Amino acid sequence: MDAHDSLLAGCRVLDLTDEIGLFASKVLGDFGADVIKIEKPGGEPSRSIGPFYQDIPSPEKSLYWFAFNTGKRGVTLDIETSDGKDIFIRLVRGADFVIESFPPGYMDSLGLGYSPLSSANPRIILTSITPFGQSGPYRDYKAPDLVVWALGGMLSTCGDPDRAPVRISFPQAYLHAGAEAAAATMIAHYHRETTGEGQWVDVSAQQSVEVTT
């Protein structure tokens, strides 16, 4: 298939995610979107996740990083600075999607929440991926992949009935969250194509795991 015939040909994604959301932007990239991975100075911490090429730990040799960032372009930008915010807003004006996985309220605290992004680009779709969503009693809780897997109910299916649950060797909950985020973003994209309106997509990793049970 020619690149111009791809589902999201001509669309641009600004990727502000860590490991909980890297898969979501990769899916959109596989659909033909131009994905720009935005890393803070010093690099995205997910670069430290192994395994590593030739077993040499290095932010430039993470096979995990390679797997979920293939096809993406990259840029270093500190969105906590005044100049960084201005540059990000300029990027938003030419983008179709922003995907982020910061704690609830972080983007708002920087003046980069959905309202200012929508003011800069009314068609923008902001997809936020967090462990427990933007509201509710667990919204501010941190949760590694294993905790989300357990609280989503899936850990109870792993292992033998007469033993304690065991984890699957490769992270699972975050991949479900990324897949659900990509699907929800595409639904928002369809809505935008029919109405011209962007929107804010709120994705809970725990709920993404529950959907699959």
Return the number of other C-beta atoms located less than 10 Å from residue 4's C-beta: 8
In whole angstroms, give the CA distance from residue 13 to residue 90.
13
In whole angstroms, give the CA distance from residue 104 to residue 185.
18
pLDDT at 168: 80
Q: Cβ distance 132 to 201 under 8 Å? A: no
In whole angstroms, give the CA distance from residue 184 to residue 189.
9
Specify the amino acid at residue 128: S
pLDDT at 81: 98
In whole angstroms, give the CA distance from residue 84 to residue 62.
27
CA 54 to chain centre: 28
pLDDT at 85: 98
Specify the amino acid at residue 165: P
Provide CB contacts within 8 A for 12, sequence distance 6+: 33, 34, 35, 36, 94, 95, 96, 97
Q: Cβ distance 24 to 101 under 8 Å? A: no
Strands (E), 61-189: 73-76, 97-100, 125-130
pLDDT at 4: 66
pLDDT at 213: 45
Please list the rounded mean pLDDT of every run of 10 residues in the chain (213 residues): 78 97 98 97 93 94 95 97 98 98 98 98 98 96 92 86 81 93 98 97 95 48
Angle, CA of 132, 14 and 24, to the nearest 5°: 45
pLDDT at 197: 96
pTM of the model: 0.93
